[in-house]
Amino acid sequence: MFRPFKLKAPYFEIGPKVYMHGDEALDLALHADALCRTFGVDIIFTAQYTDISRIAHETTHLKVFAQHMDANPVGRGVGAVLPEALKQAGAVGVLLNHAEKPLSLSVLNETIRRADEVGLATLVCAATVAESAAVAVLEPNMVLAESPALIGGGKRSDDDALEVERINAAVRAVGKDILVLHGAGISDEHDVYQIIRSGADGTGSTSAIMRAADPKDMLSRMIEAMSRAHRERTTD
Protein backbone atom coordinates (compact mmCIF):
# COMPACT_ATOMS: atom_id res chain seq x y z
CA MET A 1 0.00 0.00 0.00
CA PHE A 2 1.23 3.46 -0.93
CA ARG A 3 0.23 5.12 2.34
CA PRO A 4 0.61 8.80 1.34
CA PHE A 5 -2.38 8.34 -1.00
CA LYS A 6 -5.53 9.62 0.67
CA LEU A 7 -9.15 9.26 -0.36
CA LYS A 8 -12.18 10.34 1.65
CA ALA A 9 -15.69 8.94 1.55
CA PRO A 10 -17.76 9.22 -0.50
CA TYR A 11 -15.63 8.52 -3.57
CA PHE A 12 -16.37 7.65 -7.19
CA GLU A 13 -14.44 6.00 -10.02
CA ILE A 14 -15.07 6.74 -13.69
CA GLY A 15 -13.68 4.07 -15.96
CA PRO A 16 -13.79 5.24 -19.58
CA LYS A 17 -12.16 2.00 -20.83
CA VAL A 18 -11.83 2.60 -24.59
CA TYR A 19 -15.16 4.38 -25.04
CA MET A 20 -13.45 7.79 -24.94
CA HIS A 21 -10.08 9.27 -25.73
CA GLY A 22 -8.43 12.59 -26.49
CA ASP A 23 -10.55 15.75 -26.44
CA GLU A 24 -13.73 13.92 -25.47
CA ALA A 25 -12.06 12.25 -22.48
CA LEU A 26 -10.51 15.54 -21.39
CA ASP A 27 -13.88 17.29 -21.60
CA LEU A 28 -15.45 14.71 -19.28
CA ALA A 29 -12.45 14.85 -16.95
CA LEU A 30 -12.74 18.63 -16.65
CA HIS A 31 -16.42 18.24 -15.81
CA ALA A 32 -15.57 15.63 -13.17
CA ASP A 33 -12.94 17.96 -11.74
CA ALA A 34 -15.58 20.67 -11.33
CA LEU A 35 -17.89 18.17 -9.59
CA CYS A 36 -15.13 17.41 -7.08
CA ARG A 37 -15.18 21.08 -6.11
CA THR A 38 -18.96 21.46 -6.11
CA PHE A 39 -19.73 18.41 -3.97
CA GLY A 40 -16.48 18.12 -2.01
CA VAL A 41 -15.92 14.52 -3.10
CA ASP A 42 -13.01 12.53 -4.49
CA ILE A 43 -13.27 11.22 -8.04
CA ILE A 44 -10.86 8.75 -9.66
CA PHE A 45 -10.61 9.05 -13.46
CA THR A 46 -9.12 5.87 -14.95
CA ALA A 47 -7.75 7.19 -18.22
CA GLN A 48 -6.17 5.56 -21.22
CA TYR A 49 -2.38 5.73 -21.10
CA THR A 50 -2.20 8.32 -23.88
CA ASP A 51 -4.56 10.68 -22.03
CA ILE A 52 -2.97 10.53 -18.57
CA SER A 53 -0.52 13.39 -18.95
CA ARG A 54 -2.98 15.82 -20.51
CA ILE A 55 -5.78 15.11 -18.01
CA ALA A 56 -3.44 15.16 -15.02
CA HIS A 57 -1.97 18.52 -15.99
CA GLU A 58 -5.30 20.19 -16.85
CA THR A 59 -7.24 19.15 -13.73
CA THR A 60 -6.77 20.11 -10.10
CA HIS A 61 -8.82 17.80 -7.88
CA LEU A 62 -9.22 14.68 -10.01
CA LYS A 63 -7.18 11.59 -9.10
CA VAL A 64 -5.91 10.22 -12.40
CA PHE A 65 -5.30 6.46 -12.54
CA ALA A 66 -3.96 4.23 -15.30
CA GLN A 67 -6.08 1.34 -16.57
CA HIS A 68 -3.30 -1.23 -16.08
CA MET A 69 0.41 -1.51 -15.34
CA ASP A 70 3.19 -4.08 -15.72
CA ALA A 71 5.72 -5.02 -13.05
CA ASN A 72 8.71 -4.74 -15.40
CA PRO A 73 11.81 -2.98 -14.16
CA VAL A 74 13.39 -0.27 -16.30
CA GLY A 75 15.10 -2.05 -19.21
CA ARG A 76 13.84 -4.73 -21.57
CA GLY A 77 10.14 -5.24 -22.24
CA VAL A 78 8.63 -4.11 -25.53
CA GLY A 79 5.03 -2.98 -25.10
CA ALA A 80 5.13 -3.09 -21.32
CA VAL A 81 3.55 -0.28 -19.29
CA LEU A 82 6.30 0.99 -17.01
CA PRO A 83 5.31 2.19 -13.50
CA GLU A 84 7.88 4.99 -13.55
CA ALA A 85 6.46 6.26 -16.86
CA LEU A 86 2.93 6.37 -15.48
CA LYS A 87 4.12 8.28 -12.43
CA GLN A 88 6.04 10.79 -14.51
CA ALA A 89 3.02 11.25 -16.81
CA GLY A 90 0.98 12.39 -13.82
CA ALA A 91 -0.89 9.28 -12.69
CA VAL A 92 -1.35 8.91 -8.94
CA GLY A 93 -2.57 5.32 -9.08
CA VAL A 94 -3.36 2.27 -11.18
CA LEU A 95 -6.25 -0.13 -11.70
CA LEU A 96 -5.22 -3.80 -11.54
CA ASN A 97 -6.77 -7.24 -12.09
CA HIS A 98 -9.86 -6.07 -13.98
CA ALA A 99 -11.93 -8.88 -15.51
CA GLU A 100 -10.61 -7.76 -18.91
CA LYS A 101 -6.97 -7.66 -17.67
CA PRO A 102 -6.74 -10.46 -15.07
CA LEU A 103 -3.49 -11.17 -13.20
CA SER A 104 -2.39 -14.28 -11.33
CA LEU A 105 -2.00 -13.84 -7.58
CA SER A 106 1.80 -13.91 -7.79
CA VAL A 107 1.93 -11.36 -10.63
CA LEU A 108 -0.64 -9.21 -8.85
CA ASN A 109 1.47 -9.19 -5.70
CA GLU A 110 4.59 -8.26 -7.69
CA THR A 111 2.73 -5.48 -9.50
CA ILE A 112 1.33 -3.98 -6.30
CA ARG A 113 4.83 -3.97 -4.81
CA ARG A 114 6.18 -2.16 -7.90
CA ALA A 115 3.41 0.42 -7.60
CA ASP A 116 4.29 0.92 -3.93
CA GLU A 117 7.94 1.33 -4.89
CA VAL A 118 7.31 4.16 -7.37
CA GLY A 119 4.54 5.85 -5.39
CA LEU A 120 1.34 4.78 -7.15
CA ALA A 121 -1.86 3.86 -5.31
CA THR A 122 -3.46 0.55 -6.26
CA LEU A 123 -7.13 -0.13 -6.98
CA VAL A 124 -7.45 -3.91 -7.31
CA CYS A 125 -10.52 -5.70 -8.67
CA ALA A 126 -12.12 -8.73 -7.04
CA ALA A 127 -15.34 -10.58 -7.89
CA THR A 128 -16.47 -12.21 -4.65
CA VAL A 129 -16.18 -12.02 -0.86
CA ALA A 130 -13.41 -14.63 -0.90
CA GLU A 131 -11.50 -12.90 -3.69
CA SER A 132 -11.85 -9.53 -1.94
CA ALA A 133 -10.35 -10.98 1.24
CA ALA A 134 -7.53 -12.65 -0.72
CA VAL A 135 -6.72 -9.41 -2.54
CA ALA A 136 -6.78 -7.49 0.74
CA VAL A 137 -3.98 -9.70 2.06
CA LEU A 138 -1.75 -8.17 -0.65
CA GLU A 139 -2.35 -4.72 0.91
CA PRO A 140 -3.56 -2.60 -2.00
CA ASN A 141 -4.89 0.87 -1.27
CA MET A 142 -8.37 -0.12 -2.45
CA VAL A 143 -10.36 -3.20 -3.36
CA LEU A 144 -12.81 -2.71 -6.23
CA ALA A 145 -15.54 -5.31 -5.76
CA GLU A 146 -17.18 -6.05 -9.11
CA SER A 147 -19.20 -9.11 -10.03
CA PRO A 148 -18.25 -10.08 -13.63
CA ALA A 149 -21.92 -10.88 -14.27
CA LEU A 150 -22.82 -7.24 -13.63
CA ILE A 151 -20.00 -5.59 -15.61
CA GLY A 152 -21.29 -3.79 -18.68
CA GLY A 153 -24.93 -3.41 -17.75
CA GLY A 154 -26.12 -6.15 -15.39
CA LYS A 155 -28.94 -5.34 -12.95
CA ARG A 156 -28.24 -5.20 -9.22
CA SER A 157 -30.48 -7.17 -6.82
CA ASP A 158 -31.27 -7.19 -3.10
CA ASP A 159 -28.61 -9.87 -2.65
CA ASP A 160 -26.03 -7.54 -4.22
CA ALA A 161 -26.86 -5.01 -1.50
CA LEU A 162 -26.17 -7.67 1.16
CA GLU A 163 -22.90 -8.45 -0.62
CA VAL A 164 -21.74 -4.90 0.08
CA GLU A 165 -21.84 -5.62 3.80
CA ARG A 166 -20.19 -9.02 3.44
CA ILE A 167 -17.32 -7.69 1.34
CA ASN A 168 -16.77 -4.68 3.59
CA ALA A 169 -16.51 -6.98 6.61
CA ALA A 170 -14.15 -9.41 4.84
CA VAL A 171 -11.76 -6.67 3.70
CA ARG A 172 -11.78 -4.81 7.02
CA ALA A 173 -11.05 -8.04 8.86
CA VAL A 174 -7.77 -8.19 6.91
CA GLY A 175 -6.83 -4.51 6.98
CA LYS A 176 -8.81 -1.57 8.35
CA ASP A 177 -6.80 0.88 6.21
CA ILE A 178 -7.88 -0.75 2.93
CA LEU A 179 -10.69 1.13 1.20
CA VAL A 180 -13.50 -0.67 -0.62
CA LEU A 181 -15.19 0.56 -3.78
CA HIS A 182 -18.30 -1.30 -5.00
CA GLY A 183 -19.04 -1.17 -8.71
CA ALA A 184 -20.62 -3.03 -11.68
CA GLY A 185 -24.29 -2.97 -12.51
CA ILE A 186 -24.58 0.77 -11.88
CA SER A 187 -27.08 1.89 -14.51
CA ASP A 188 -28.13 5.31 -13.20
CA GLU A 189 -28.14 7.68 -10.23
CA HIS A 190 -30.75 5.55 -8.43
CA ASP A 191 -28.33 2.60 -8.35
CA VAL A 192 -25.63 4.92 -7.04
CA TYR A 193 -27.92 6.13 -4.27
CA GLN A 194 -28.93 2.61 -3.25
CA ILE A 195 -25.41 1.18 -3.16
CA ILE A 196 -24.14 4.03 -0.97
CA ARG A 197 -27.15 3.66 1.32
CA SER A 198 -26.35 -0.06 1.51
CA GLY A 199 -23.04 0.74 3.18
CA ALA A 200 -20.59 1.37 0.35
CA ASP A 201 -18.27 4.34 0.85
CA GLY A 202 -17.61 4.55 -2.86
CA THR A 203 -18.86 3.33 -6.22
CA GLY A 204 -18.26 3.91 -9.91
CA SER A 205 -19.54 3.48 -13.42
CA THR A 206 -18.39 2.96 -16.98
CA SER A 207 -21.15 1.85 -19.34
CA ALA A 208 -23.97 3.96 -17.88
CA ILE A 209 -21.92 7.13 -18.26
CA MET A 210 -20.20 6.35 -21.54
CA ARG A 211 -23.38 5.19 -23.29
CA ALA A 212 -25.60 7.97 -21.95
CA ALA A 213 -27.00 10.53 -24.37
CA ASP A 214 -25.22 13.15 -22.24
CA PRO A 215 -22.34 11.58 -20.26
CA LYS A 216 -21.65 14.76 -18.30
CA ASP A 217 -25.27 15.02 -17.18
CA MET A 218 -25.33 11.37 -16.12
CA LEU A 219 -22.10 11.83 -14.17
CA SER A 220 -23.52 14.92 -12.46
CA ARG A 221 -26.64 13.04 -11.41
CA MET A 222 -24.57 10.14 -10.07
CA ILE A 223 -22.26 12.37 -8.03
CA GLU A 224 -25.18 14.30 -6.56
CA ALA A 225 -26.89 11.01 -5.63
CA MET A 226 -23.71 9.63 -4.07
CA SER A 227 -23.15 12.76 -2.02
CA ARG A 228 -26.76 12.86 -0.85
CA ALA A 229 -26.89 9.16 0.06
CA HIS A 230 -23.66 9.34 2.04
CA ARG A 231 -24.82 12.46 3.87
CA GLU A 232 -28.13 10.84 4.76
CA ARG A 233 -26.47 7.59 5.84
CA THR A 234 -24.02 9.30 8.15
CA THR A 235 -26.69 11.47 9.78
CA ASP A 236 -29.38 8.78 10.27
Q: What residues are labeled active site?
A: 98, 146
End-to-end Cα, the chain, rounded Å: 32
At a CB cut-off of 8 Å and minimum separation 6, what does 101 contact?
A: 67, 68
Amino acid code (one letter) for 26: L
Choose among 101, 126, 130: nearest CA to 182: 126
Look at the alpha carbons of 119, 123, 124, 128 in this order and tell me if their dihedral is positive or negative: positive
Give the span between the Cα atoms of 71 and 73, in whole angstroms: 7
